[in-house]
């Protein structure tokens, strides 16, 4: 297991995205192209798409979350922010 620690001013997070049936691959592809998204991929489970995110601050994370949530086909999002010890 790799432990990720946030650098000063950098926010790392993982977004879990639920989408309308049949749209997981197209939504993942769109999300992967967004600034701040390291990668996004379709999964099987409670979420349909997972995105790895790294942005400069919480304001940028909120803006990116809104951008993802506003995509056609997205039903809900949940963002998990890394915890620093």
Domains defined along the chain, listed by start: 11-81 (3.30.70.920)
Q: What confidence score (pLDDT) does residue 9 get?
A: 77
- The structure tokens listed for 47 are 């979420």
Residues of the chain with pLDDT under 50: 1-3, 5-6, 85
pTM over 0.75: yes
pLDDT for res 1: 45
Asked if 19 and 49 count as a contact pair (C-beta separation under 8 A), the reply is yes
**Cα torsion angle, 3, 33, 57, 17, sign:** negative
Query: What's the pLDDT score for residue 8?
Result: 58
């Amino acid at each position: 297991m790799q432990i990720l620690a946030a650098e000063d001013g950098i926010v790392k997070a993982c977004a879990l995205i639920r989408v309308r049936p049949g749209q997981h691959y197209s939504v993942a592809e769109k999300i992967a192209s967004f600034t701040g998204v390291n990668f996004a991929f379709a999964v099987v489970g409670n979420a349909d798409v997972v995105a790895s995110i790294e942005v400069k601050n919480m304001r940028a994370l909120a803006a990116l979350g809104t951008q993802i949530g506003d995509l056609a086909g997205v039903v809900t999002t949940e963002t998990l922010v890394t915890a620093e010890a």
